[in-house]
Copies of this chain bind each other. A is one copy, B any other.
Amino acid sequence: MTIAAAIEELKTLLGESCTTSKSDREIHGRSEVYYAPMPPDAVVYPTSAEEVSEIVKICARHDCPIVPWGTGTSLEGHALALKGGVTVDFAKMNHVVEVNAEDMDVRVQPGITRMALNEELRATGLFFPVDPGANASIGGMASTRASGTTTVRYGTMADNIRGLEVVLADGRIIRTGSRARKTSAGYDLTHLFVGAEGTLGLITELTLKLQGQPEAVSAGICAFPDMESAVNCVMETIQMGIPMARIEFVDAATTLAFNAYAGRDMPAQPHLLVEFNGSDQAVTEQSERFGEIVAEHGGSEFEWATKTEDRNALWQLRHDGYYAILASRKGATAMSTDICVPISRLAEAVTETQKDIADSPLDGPILGHVGDGNFHAILMMDPDSPEELKEAKRLADRMAERALEMGGTVTGEHGVGMGKMKYMAREHGEAWSVMADIKRSLDPQNIMNPGKLVQVN
């Protein structure tokens, strides 16, 4: 067995930091969604880029698949060992390397979680803004090109990384980008590795852009008669240049799940959750102007949360959305769809999806990032029912089809992994084969997270 030979060498290199224990393999074979477990043959815990390079060289010699692991919170099976091999868990590479407060950037190892990073940054007055909900690792967030509730203001992971250190499939360690705020020096390798899901190399360090903690923050929630009014309200706000820090929507079904999960008492209507950041004066002005636009579009009176604890409760509610929805059907697992369309088509995309779900035996509450045109239907199913899985896939296929017809994408922020491979040819046409060309060029043996994102054979 070539994999077995690799593991023998890895044990010699790493000692106890290479494990084949059943429990470790099982933990690294699970995801948060409906996939059956796919454990790796071994799990390694490197402590440096040099060690990662040695690991990759050993695996390359033995044609052994390498799967990167952050916190295991991805939603498309990215970190499952589809073809066995070795999972590289970055739990021990979780440090802040250097904070540059004047330049508003920070170098971190990939295993640090976003909450741990922001905790460490607290005293500097700076923060890292990308917030996908889950307390994911920064390396994982980079690899899936994650985004989330703050994207409308601060952008996605692609917009918030100045440079990377990456270990390639042949063990070479490279650096991309620089600490300068911009560069025109050659191909943009940083953006190539961000969102590559570990299929082109392993990220071992990241230089991230930081933001100043705003002087004032105000958040609120209000109900709308229908999706279309809510979306039109947001489009008008964006066009007027009023900078929202977050603008989220939940449909009536999600509102009911929130009520049950968090003891709320919201009307069974679509809601918008919004946040403004800035100076006291700016936040006041923005909230007032937004309030006027809301009223014009038939929105209810705003319930503002200006106290920190109320605001945290509001966003905790949003972030618990997936779990609140799952809790609404006992024992259910879920498929989380992730389409993203031009905002002008968002209301139509949501309404059509709701119709599909209403006509289906499955439930699928909808929530999403209205400022980005990105939403998720959480399709719940019995984990032991092949029929329900089939029906969920049918609904997801229809959503994907619709997103592409509307000029959008089948995944706004979750990534391709295994789950969205089937849509890639349709979304990209010939460009998908260009991705395969690049993959073959940088990983000719196909050992880096094989079977995810790109098809090379």
A293 to chain B, nearest CB (A): 13
The answer to whether A103 touches B343 (Cβ under 8 A) is: yes
The answer to whether B191 touches A188 (Cβ under 8 A) is: yes
A344 to chain B, nearest CB (A): 4
Residues of B within 8 A of A146 (CB): 184
The answer to whether B174 touches A411 (Cβ under 8 A) is: no
Of A215, A239, A430, most buried by chain B (CB within 10 Å of CB) is: A239
The answer to whether A156 touches B182 (Cβ under 8 A) is: yes
Does A43 interact with chain B (Cβ within 8 Å)? Answer: no
Question: A181 — nearest CB in chain B belongs to which residue?
Answer: B372
The answer to whether B239 touches A372 (Cβ under 8 A) is: no
Q: Which residues of A contact B (CB under 8 A)?
A: 100-105, 125, 144-147, 151, 156, 158-159, 168, 172-176, 178-189, 191-192, 194-196, 200, 211-212, 214-215, 235, 238-241, 278-279, 281-282, 285, 289, 338, 340-344, 371-374, 403, 407-416, 420, 423-424, 427-432, 434-435, 437-438, 440-442, 453-454
A42 to chain B, nearest CB (A): 28
A440 to chain B, nearest CB (A): 7
- Considering the chains assembled together, what is the distance between the CA atoms of A442 and B440 in angstroms? 11
Question: A183 — nearest CB in chain B belongs to which residue?
Answer: B409
The answer to whether B435 touches A187 (Cβ under 8 A) is: yes
List 15 A–B pairs whose Cβ atoms lie within 8 Å, in order of A's numbering: A102-B342, A102-B344, A158-B191, A168-B434, A180-B408, A182-B374, A184-B338, A184-B409, A184-B416, A185-B415, A185-B423, A185-B427, A212-B241, A437-B441, A438-B442
- Considering the chains assembled together, what is the distance between the CA atoms of A20 and B337 in angstroms? 55
